[in-house]
Amino acid sequence: MCIFCQIIAGEIPSYKIYEDERVFVLLDIRPINSGDTLVIVKKHVANFEEAAAEDLQAAILAIKKIGRLIKEKLGYAGYNVIENNDPVAGQEIPHLHFHIIPRLADDGIKFWPSHDYAPGEAEEILRQLKS
């Protein structure tokens, strides 16, 4: 049984914020910023594509609810919502979960670098995705 399944089952203690029939929300024990929260889909699925639409909807609604609380109760200016989908994308625990990372204007957190498409590259990617 994975660590998130153990937390959901109550076998491992957690700082639970919210729970319903589809999601479990808790404070991350190794936060990027204080109040960093995990929204875990209760049904054990490894990634986004495996999840039922109803579970994804419940997760997004929980993110909205907790995100509002992070801003109103903790005084953060905003937050990032991140889902690392599969190990190559940084997913460490193979159980679908979302990170809500509280943000301040001067917190120094930087995410991914970006680049411009090479000539014709965007059109080729678009063609492949639409075919």
- In terms of residue numbers, what domain contains 29? 3-130
**Predicted TM-score of the model (pTM):** 0.92
pLDDT in tens, 77-99: 999 999 999 999 999 999 999 99
What is the tally of structural domains in the chain? 1
Distance between CA atoms of 45 and 95, rounded to whole angstroms? 5
Give me the sign of the Cα torsion angle 69, 56, 100, 32.
positive
Backbone φ, ψ for residue 23 (5° rounding): -135, 160
Give me the sign of the Cα torsion angle 85, 78, 3, 11.
negative
Distance between CA atoms of 21 and 47, rounded to whole angstroms? 19
Has 99 been annotated as catalytic? no
CATH of the domain at 37: 3.30.428.10
pLDDT in tens, 47-58: 999 999 999 999
Distance between CA atoms of 67 and 88, rounded to whole angstroms? 27
Q: Token match 């957190």: residue?
A: 109
Given 44, 95, 97, 115, the catalytic residue = 97
